[in-house]
Structures are given as structure tokens and as C-alpha cells.
Amino acid sequence: NGAGLPLEDGTGWLPTHKEPQYKLMLLGERMCVEYREMDESLANLSEDEYYSEEERNAKAEKEKKQVPPPQPPPPEEDIDSDPEEPSGKWHLLQNKHSFLSGVEGAAFQSRLPHDRMTSQEAACFPDIISGPAQTQKVFLYIRNRTLQLWLDNPKVQLTFETTLQQLESPYNSDAVLVHRVHSYLERHGLINFGIYKRVKPLPSKKTGKVIIIGAGVSGLGAARQLQSFGMDVTVLESRDRVGGRVATFRKGNYVADLGAMVVTGLGGNPMAVVSKQVNMELAKIKQKCPLYEANGQAVPKEKDEMVEQEFNRLLEATSYLSHQLDFNYLNNKPVSLGQALEVVIQLQEKHVKDEQIEHWKKIVKTQEDLKELLNKMVSLKEKIKELHQQYKEASEVKPPRDITSEFLVKSKLRDLTALCKEYDELAEAQVKLEEKLQELEANPPSMILNCQTFIYKCDAVLCTLPLGVLKQQPAAVQFVPPLPEWKTSAIQRMGFGNLNKVVLCFDRVFWDPSVNLFGHVGSTTASRGELFLFWNLYKAPILLALVAGEAAGIMENISDDVIVGRCLAILKGIFGSGAVPQPKETVVTRWRADPWARGSYSYVAAGSSGNDYDLMAQPVTPGPSIPGAPQPVPRLFFAGEHTIRNYPATVHGALLSGLREAGRIADQFLGAMYTLPRQATPGIPTQQPASM
């Protein structure tokens, strides 16, 4: 049910939990503007994905020397346009959808430039890139048309024969080139991926053995591809379910996503293809997001705009510090964005005035505390005098003493009786838990193996473990031989965040059903990540509250009852105590404590960069067993959202990384079917598989 990671600004698409005929809904007014920029950005992403670092730097230097053309005036807003039905922007959408429906749009949806070959294509088709321009145009049309045929009907396998039959003349005259292009697109997960009906049976003879660690989106995507290529695949999963950080809570009519849940944009997103394959309707998330302060009052629009403007100004100042003044390290340690913002704020006069105000507040508070302390001392002195007099009188009484001593004994006996009763209740609960444990051990779910060691032999291993598991110290996973230093350094430099959810299932809707999300502003900086956003995404009366940052780590050590109580207190402050009922069901996630996740998703930490994502994607080659022997081929491969530079922290990024590695593994062990015919027949390398 999850097809993306949650966006804090609410933009994105939500998979609904029903299966009507798939339909592509129109994006809102904002997306009309974004679509105009999407061609250029996706083309740049395509170049970044396939071009080397040197090529990207050379291109950037060339663009700096070019004089930018004058910017056209912004289009006038159509006052009559409805955000949900942007009739005033219909001509823009119509032109865009007509573009997306053609061969050029097919390349766009596949994250490829429609009018030029990528560096990867140039490497795989050296005869085409070195040939005349007309040959390249023929290649591009065959490639784009094949992509269009697949995207028009992704529920059925697109075979070479069908492609050749559908191609127009004269592009169908070179069957060898068509076969090479089709094989290339299939091998690299641009066609025939996801969940579709096969026209041709799977290869009966398996060639090459691959072990995939992790049955998340990247692992499952790679497994399906490798299986379709004719390789023997085994997927190892530590949980009793598949999906990884895509997990769904289901109970009765209540359904909620505990992990990924939002499709972050449809342009070039393979999850849009998958949703079409399984007839899953996508519902647009409305961008309206009311904000409420800690006292439950709505944040005034003027205040919201002022804070946003000030925040953007601070970001610009921080960018100037980083790029112009090269302020990226403090005390020989990388500076995070939050630290840089603090530096900028401290440079402002406003900060000094705030400190003065806080200083005077402390003085006033100290004076009040002193006054209260003096009053307590006076009162305490009177009690001491009174107690002294009582003690003097009591000490003069001869035995037997008064009833006070007997009362103390009785009160202790009462407390002991209460503790004994509580102990008996715990003993009864212990018996019930032991019975339940015996029942669970006697009836485990299928295919779960406990406390046993297995050795799997294979030609290659694809590791899709989350970055949080790889970062864990002491290490939760041991690699033999150890990972090289460049890989472990990248693992440690990268960040792995934590985003938790609180699922609240009610018997009725008491919030505004027309909004998909509303925000809660914490009273302090430290609490800004505590229940800062509430999602309303389901037809059932369910709210999802998000907890991020430091608050997410703190709340993982707090009981569910306390967290749910805090949620209800916030909701009652917003909607009123009488309007908020007790929830029927609640779920609190703790992704950092999950031993097979250790967090939610990756981010570029201070001291890290996009290059670390590229390093994470690189396979590892074992050293030669005999000095002077030929260099072995890579045996350990990596996939996951933390291994894809252009689409990190998303489900579609995880899927694309799995497709990428499946193609890489198949090319290495099966050979590239799209290479020139005169090359050797593809097959499994003659080297003996390394033991894994």
C-alpha cells in the first residue's frame, strides 16, 4: 500500500485501498507550473544518472559561461480557476498530457532525454554513438517508441516480436537493432518490470545463483527481474513479512500505513506504472494545511507568511555563508544546516535584544522565587515552633504511649497488604503470558527458522539492508572479508533519520474532512518535531500523527499510553474536549528501535555529499586469492533507497536501485544481449564462484 515516503509539505499522491479501474487524475494548479520545469529537471537528472563526474563538471562550467536568456513574464493567474479543477490552466495541462502521451513523453516518463543518447547508452552502443547522426535518430525513435508501447500497456509483457510488429516502417527494417534496443531496455528495467502477465514462460534452465538479503521493495524488485532473466534467486528475510519499511496496519475496517505511504510525484515515477498494473487508484493529496499553535489556536495567515519569509531569508544567508564564505566547518567538525542557522541568528541584533529580554525575565523570576522562599521560611519557622511544643508535651507522657504509635503500625500493614495483592495479580498475568508464549512457540508462522545457521553458496549477493542496519555499532551484520574502507566510510558519513507515526482510529470524524493534513506548532524549538503533522488520508476515521527529529528518539522510550494521551491533548486543544472521543485502536511505530530498520530513511548528513550515494551503489570485488592472478569480478552488490543519488529516501528510488542492480548482475553473469553480434556468446564466467 505504500508507494513513496511521506512528504512534510503534503505534496504527493496517495494509493487508496481499493481496486477500481486505474485513472490518472489531474494535478492541481501548482503542478501546472511544476510541469513546465519538470522536463528540464528530469533531463538534468537523467544526465546526472548516466554521465560521469567529469562530464557533469565540464557541462556546468560551459553553462556558467553562457549568457542566460531573458526570463518571460510570469503567466497571469486565472482568478476563476478552482484549485481542484484548474480550468484556467487546462490548456497547459492539455499540452503537457499530449506531450506525455507521445514517444517523447515515454522517454520523459522513463527518466531519459528524448532527443539524445545517455552516456550509458553510448557505452552499450558504441557503434551507434560513433555513427552518423541519422543512425542515432533511428536508435532514439526505436527506443522511445518501445518505451511508449510498454507504458501504454504495462500489464502485459512487451516481447521483441510485438515491438517489431508495432514499429512503423522504416524503423522496423533493422530487426537486429530493434532486438538490441529491446534487450537493453528490458535488462535495465525500463520495460517489463513490476507486476505484469508474461507472454513467454520463464527460462527453464537457471544460470547463475544470486542471494538477495532483504525482501523490501529493492530486494523484491531485483528478485523479479533476475528471475525473469533466467537466474536462480533466493531472497533472505529476517521478518515474518515482506515489504521492509513499507508496512500496513489492518484491523477490521481500519487500514493505515506505518511506513511509506505517499507517491512523491508521477513524472518519471515507476510506482505510477506499478499502481496501474495492480489497478490501484491514486488520490491527489490536497496541499491545504491549517496550522495550530500549542494553545490550540489557529496560526494567523500573516504570522505564517512572515515566519516563512524569515525562514527563507535565513536560508539565503546560510547559503551565502556556505558557498561564498566557505563556512562549512566549525572546530574541525562539519557544520549542519541547523548549526549554520543558529550562527546566522546569533549575528543579528534581534538575537541580542532577545537575550536582554530573557535576562530581565530571569531577574524578575529570581526575585519572585526569592520572595516565595522567604514566605516558606517564615511558615516553616512557625511549624518548627509548633512541632517543638508538641514533642515537648508528648515526651512528658509516661507509658503506655498514645495511639499514634499504633496508627503508624496499622498504616504500614495496610501498605504491605496492597503490595501483596498487586504481586498476586502480576503472578496471574505471568501464568497467562507463559501459556501464550508456549502457544506461539508451538505454532510459528510458516517459513520462520529460529536459532539455526545456514550456509548458502552463490555466484553473487545483493545486499538491500537499510542504511541504519549497516551503520549500527556494534555491527549487526558481519562481512567476510570486511568491507573496504571507502565503503565503510561512506556508510558512516551518511545520515539515517527517524520518522515515527502514531495511528489513531476513531469511531467518527471530528476534524475537517476536506483537508488531508493539518499542522501543530510546538511551543519550543526542542519540541518542534513532536506530533507536528496530522494526516487524514483514509475514508475510515483515522488520523496519522508524525514525530520527527529529537522528539522521535525521545518518544521511542515512552509508553504508548503516554504518547496517545499527548496526541489527544493536542487534538482536544484544537477541536475542543467534548469533540474528541477516545480512539478505538492505536498504533505507535518505533523505527529506530526496529532491529531490521534502525530508522526511517537516509539523508545527506553534515560532512556527507551526494557522492556517498554513488559509493554506496558501487559493488565490492574480493581481492585475488593468488598474487598475480586476474582481478576477480564483483560478487557483493548493494541496492536500496540509500544507494540512488537522484531519488533517495523514496520507494521509487528503492525500486529503481533494485532494477539497476538486477541489470548489473545479469550483464556480468549472463552477458549483455544488446552488444554487437560479433562479440562472444554471453554466458556464465569461467571463474569459480567465491564462497559467500
Rounded (10°) angle between helices 651-670 and 217-229: 30
Distance, in Å, from the CA atom of 189 to the CA atom of 657, rounded to the nearest integer, reads 10
Mean pLDDT by 10 residues, the chain (692 residues): 37 43 30 37 46 55 52 42 39 46 91 96 95 96 97 97 96 95 98 96 90 96 97 93 95 94 92 95 90 87 85 80 68 71 67 68 64 58 54 54 52 50 55 51 42 78 97 91 95 96 97 94 84 92 95 94 96 94 97 96 92 97 70 92 97 98 96 72 38 36
The partner residues of 209 in beta bridges, in order of sequence, read 232
261 is in an annotated binding site: yes
Which pLDDT does position 32 carry in this prediction?
31
pLDDT of amino acid 682: 40
Strand 499-505 with 585-588, pairing: antiparallel
Nearest one of 109, 208, 90, 211 to 150, comparing CA atoms: 109
Nearest CA to 652 out of 281, 285, 266, 242 is that of: 266
Residue 569: its H or E element? helix 560-575
Is residue 651 marked as binding?
A: yes
Whether 521 has a binding-site annotation, put simply, is no
Report the pLDDT value the prediction gives residue 171, as an integer from 0 to 100: 95
Residue 46's nearest CA partner among 212, 202, 188 is 188
Q: 650 a known binding residue?
A: yes
* Cell numbers representing residue 455 in the block: 550456509
Looking at residue 556, its pLDDT comes to 94
CA proximity to 639, closest of 433, 467, 421, 440: 467
Cα(first)–Cα(last) distance of the chain, in Å?
34
Q: Within a 10 A sphere around the Cβ of 147, how many other Cβ atoms?
A: 24
Residue 48, C-beta contacts closer than 8 angstroms, at least 6 positions apart:
56, 645, 646
Q: How far apart are CA 228 and CA 211, in angstroms?
A: 15
Q: Would the annotation count 239 as a binding residue? A: yes
- Cell numbers found for residue 444: 510459528
Is 660 labelled as part of a ligand binding site?
no
* CA 669 to centroid of chain Cα atoms: 31
Which three cell numbers, joined as nine digits, stand for 429?
498475568
The DSSP secondary-structure symbol of 503 reads E
Domains defined for the chain, CATH in brackets:
499-588 (3.90.660.10)
Neighbours of 103 (CB within 10 A): 18
What is the structure's pLDDT at 527?
83
DSSP string, 1-49: ---S---TT--SEEE-SS------PPP-HHHHHHHHHHHHHHHHHHHHH
Q: Point out which residues pair with 545 in neighbouring strands.
A: 502, 534
Residue 621's closest CA among 609, 638, 641? 638
CA distance 570 to 59: 51
262 is in an annotated binding site: yes
The enclosing H or E element of 588 equals strand 585-588
CA 358 to CA 572: how far, in whole Å? 31
